[in-house]
Amino acid sequence: MKPLTLFLFLLVVLLLTMSLEALVPSLAFLGQVHLVFFTIIFCFAALALPFFGSLFFGFITGLIEGLLVLEIHGQHVEIRLGWFIIFFMLWAFMLQLVSDITDGVRWELHSLGAGLCTATFLLGEFFLLSFSRGNFFITGEVFLLSFLSAGISLILAPLFYGCVQFWLSPPKQNSTTYLTPL
């Protein structure tokens, strides 16, 4: 598959995921944990796309996510849009480096990346929000919420990987590395 086609396909999936994410209520039985799916798509794109495509995908992910969640109170924006963009570009850069080392997109790497990206994203958002509102505090619940969301993303990531893998190319026997870098 051509990188541009994959880029556009993943972009459409990302937009759909971000919109559908807003339709799923937080899980009351898990302490109001919010499900984060878009990091799964982002991590896959960051691993599978070439360097420039990966960074640009990070840029777009940050831009859309920032615009979707940001709250503007009068003339005050709590978290600058640039933070979202730089955060996802940084993750895209790191995942590209790892992808170069492993010479392909491994499902374990994708899963771990999605989990860690979700956790760092939520914690980063909380810290910035705390600094912006002026009263910084951190409790176990903050970590619990972040890591539970991350855990759910980590578990769901192989499902997405499997679906895309099945669509892109039939699985080869005795191999866990199906996708080669484009």
Q: In terms of CB distance, is 138 or 168 closer to other proteins?
A: 138
Size of the site for other proteins (CB under 8 A): 56
Rounded to 10 degrees, the C-alpha dihedral 140/146/148/154 comes to -150
Q: Phi and psi of 86, rounded to 5°?
A: -65, -35
* By CB under 8 A, residue 162 contacts other proteins: no
131 belongs to the binding site for other proteins (CB under 8 A): no
The whole-angstrom distance between residue 157's C-alpha and the CA centroid of its chain comes to 10
Report the C-alpha gap between 155 and 114 in whole angstroms: 9
3, 120, 130, 181: which one binds other proteins (CB under 8 A): 130
Minimum distance between the CB of residue 69 and other proteins, rounded to whole angstroms? 4
Q: Which is nearer to other proteins, 35 or 112 (CB)?
A: 35
* Contact between 41 and 160 (Cβ < 8 Å): yes
CB 102 to other proteins: min, Å: 19
Query: Euclidean distance between the first and final Cα of the chain, in Å?
Result: 8
- How is residue 138 annotated by DSSP? -
Among 30, 56, 104, 147, binds other proteins (CB under 8 A): 56
Q: Candidates 4, 67, 155, 163: give the one binding other proteins (CB under 8 A).
A: 67
Report the phi/psi class of residue 103: left, alpha or beta, with left for phi > 0 and alpha for psi in -120 to 50. left
Residue of the chain from 51, 98, 112, 158 that contacts other proteins (CB under 8 A): 51
How does DSSP classify residue 172?
P
Residue numbers at the binding site for other proteins (CB under 8 A): 15-16, 18-26, 28, 32-34, 36, 51-52, 55-56, 59, 62-64, 67-78, 80-83, 85-86, 89, 93, 122, 125-126, 129-130, 133, 139, 141-142, 145-146, 149
